[in-house]
Amino acid sequence: NAPGQVALSEFGEYLPSYNDQAAFLGTPIFENGKKIGVLVVQVSIDKINAVMTSEGKWKERGFGNSGETYLVSSADGTPRSIARLAVEDIAAYAQSVRDAGFSPGVANAVQAKGNGIGLVPIKTKATEDAFEKNTAGFGVYPNYTKTQVLGAYAPLNVLGLKWAIIAEIKAEEALAAVAAVRQRVVVWATGIAVALLGVGLLIAFSLLRAVTKPITKLQETVTKISDGDFSARSQLGGDDEFGDLSRAFDHLLDDRVARLADAERENEDLNNSVVQLLQAVAQLSNKDLTAKAPVTANVIGTVSDSINLLAYETGRVLSEVTSIAAQVKLSTERVKRQAESVNATAAAERSDVERASENLVNASKVMTQVAELAAASNRAAEQATTSTTTALGSVNETVRGMEGIRESIAESEKRIKRLGERSQEITGIVNLINTIAERTHVLALNASMQAAAAGDAGRGFAVVAEEVQRLAESSRQATQQIAQLVNNIQIETSDTINTVNKTIAQVVLGSEIAARSGAQMRETQQSTASLVELVKRITSSAQVQMKITTELRNRVHQIGASTEKTAAEILLQSEATADLSKSADRLVESVRVFKLPTNRAA
């Protein structure tokens, strides 16, 4: 998350690349110090293969017929670059994987993809040392195909990824030239050693005598010099190497003796300069910064010049310290006054915060009451909604009952009308019977008269005629009673029809009133539902307002605590400012003990 950081992901199968191995590099992009994105780049495994395979030119690069270099990752123990045999003969490489004991699935995948990257697990001495021991090395060991190879290896840390780089060649190919060279070297070395041994003995004997004498003379000269005789010289003649050595040695002695004399003179001058320097340092130690050490041409002169410069700069710094201390004193006094003003302001703000806190506490109580009343109103409104819904159901049932009653009354009206019609028919029949009775009565009278006229012969017939006459009279009276009853029935039927019509009208009116009542109840239900929703909103708003009031009250308490803390910090600052002012005074008093140059004393 910092500019310039780079992250590298481990290689793995990447679907857009047909599940070939791929890795990605990522780095953050910043603009004006703010991260605005991430740049991600895919790492091409082809470039890694080109480097590790020397672009296929193994023999030209000295790898012979079987040498190769490759990378292995510790993440899964598989290679991160292509093997040489996979490039030259993929079928042979796949077969070597099979022969090494790997599963047929791995070998088939290797042959299908044309390489073993990310597929063939490699566990050899090289990978164990590089990953587990984090060490580099070389040696002869079996590789992942169980072939003896001469290999060199080393661990790699690539942006946090733990890899190993391995170079291997078949052992028989690598060591073939070594065996041939070893045999030739042994033969030649034996012959040369015998010849050199004889020649060496002769030369050693002759050189021993020539070397011993000059060395003895040089040894005597060195002994005299060590005893304090600086005039001793070897003075060997001759034009050989020992003569040259003798002359060089004598010249060296002359030069060293002359330098020793010069060193003694310089030492005396140096002692004088040191004395003068110590005197100046003594004055400086007495806090006299006007003292100056004499500057000489020797090394002490450089020290004196440095001490003079140090004294000058110290005086200048102390003068500036005095000035700064005075300014610090003035600044601390101003800061102290400002702190007192801020403290007074903080006290006033603390009082205001306390009053605001009390007001918020009262407001919180009121909002709590409002929330409780809103909740009670919500419950009452919900109960009213339930009652209205129940009443609306009852009204609807009443309307449906009135409709049923109206239908029943209408059916009764039809039946009563049919009853009136049947009574009219009965009246006609009664009239017919009455007519028959009257005619029968007339016939009975006629028969009586005929029987009376017949005398005794018609007496029996007269009795029958009287019975018929009485029967006709009874029938006529009965028909009159029936006619009266039918007339009464018709009157009552007419009254009943009128009553039924009035009842139907009242039922219709009641149905209409009930329907209007149902409509009004539905409107009341909708209004009550709206009222319930509004009450719920009021309740929710009251609860939110109560939470806000509580948060404000907590904030006010926090502000009050912060104000008190600020007042305490201001008090501490005032005390620290007073201490700083005292320290500035002490600093000025401490500087005054120094004697400063005149032009710096201010």
**Residues in Cβ contact with 585 at an 8 Å cutoff, skipping those fewer than 6 apart:** 325, 329
Whose structure tokens read 């290679």? 79
Q: Specify the pairing of strand 68-73 against strand 34-43.
A: unpaired
- 578: pLDDT confidence band, cut at 50, 70 and 90? confident
| Cβ atoms 153, 165 nearer than 8 A | yes
Domains in the chain, start-ordered, CATH in brackets? 7-170 (3.30.450), 331-581 (1.10.287.950)
**With contact defined as beta carbons under 8 Å apart, do 367 and 545 qualify?**
yes
pLDDT at 563: 73
Mean pLDDT of 26-46: 88
CA–CA gap between residue 73 and residue 127 (Å, rounded): 9
Per-residue pLDDT band for 600 (boundaries 50, 70, 90) equals very low
For residue 203, the model assigns a pLDDT of 61
Nearest-angstrom CA–CA distance, 155 and 128: 10
- Residue 78 to residue 80: CA distance in whole angstroms: 7
pLDDT of residue 122: 93
Backbone dihedral angles phi then psi of residue 509, each to the nearest 5 degrees:
-65, -40
Strands 68-73, 137-142: pairing is unpaired
Is residue 397 within 8 Å of 491, Cβ to Cβ?
no
- Model confidence pLDDT, tens digit, residues 349-371: 777 777 777 776 776 677 677 77
Tens-digit pLDDT profile for residues 246-271: 677 677 777 777 777 777 777 777 77
- Hey, is 385 helix, strand or coil? helix
pLDDT in tens, 147-183: 999 999 999 998 889 999 999 999 888 887 666 666 6
Residue 513 predicted with pLDDT over 50: yes
Q: Is the pLDDT of residue 487 over 90?
A: no
* Cβ density class 505-516: b for 16+ within 10 Å, e for less: eebeebbeebbe
Say what the pTM is.
0.34
Q: Residue 10: how many CB atoms within 10 A of its CB? A: 18
pLDDT band at 200 (very low <50, low <70, confident <90, very high): low
- With residues binned 3-state (H G I as helix, E B as strand, rest as coil), the percentages for the chain, rounded to 5, are 75, 10, 15
Residue pair 159/5 in contact (Cβ under 8 Å)? The answer is no
Residue pair 46/21 in contact (Cβ under 8 Å)? The answer is no
pLDDT, mean of residues 275-282: 74
| DSSP summary character for residue 115 | S
Tokens in use for 145? Answer: 């195909």
Indicate whether 321 pLDDT > 60: yes
**Structure-model confidence comparison of residues 52 and 336, the more confident one:** 52
pLDDT of residue 601: 39
Q: Is 101 helix (H, G, I), strand (E, B) or coil?
A: coil
491-510 confidence digits (pLDDT tens): 877 777 788 778 777 777 87
Q: Which pLDDT does position 299 carry in this prediction?
A: 64
CA pair distance 7, 40, nearest whole angstrom: 9
Residue 244 has pLDDT above 80, yes or no: no
**Which residues, 6 or more positions from 250, have their beta carbon under 8 angstroms from its beta carbon?**
233, 234, 235
Which pLDDT belongs to residue 208?
Answer: 54
Tell me the CA distances in angstroms from 405 to 100, 238, 243, 512, 516, one per residue in order: 102, 165, 160, 14, 18
Per-residue tokens: 536 = 């719920």
In the predicted model, is pLDDT for residue 445 greater than 90?
A: no
Cβ atoms of 121 and 112 closer than 8 Å: no
Q: What is the mean pLDDT of the chain?
A: 78
Look at 135-139, 149-153, 284-288 and tell me which has the smallest mean pLDDT: 284-288
Mean pLDDT for 527-539 is 74
Q: Torsion angle of alpha carbons 389, 390, 395, 401, nearest 10°?
A: 130
Q: What pLDDT digit, counting tens, does each position of 17-35 carry?
A: 888 888 998 999 888 888 8
Instruction: Specify whether the CB–CB gap between 67 and 54 falls below 8 A.
Output: no
Q: Is 167 helix (H, G, I), strand (E, B) or coil?
A: strand
pLDDT at position 595 is: 73
- The token pair at 462 is 């007269």
At residue 602, the pLDDT reads 40
- For residues 449-466, average pLDDT: 75
Instruction: Give the range among 118-122, 184-188, 403-407, 498-502 with minimum mean pLDDT.
Output: 184-188
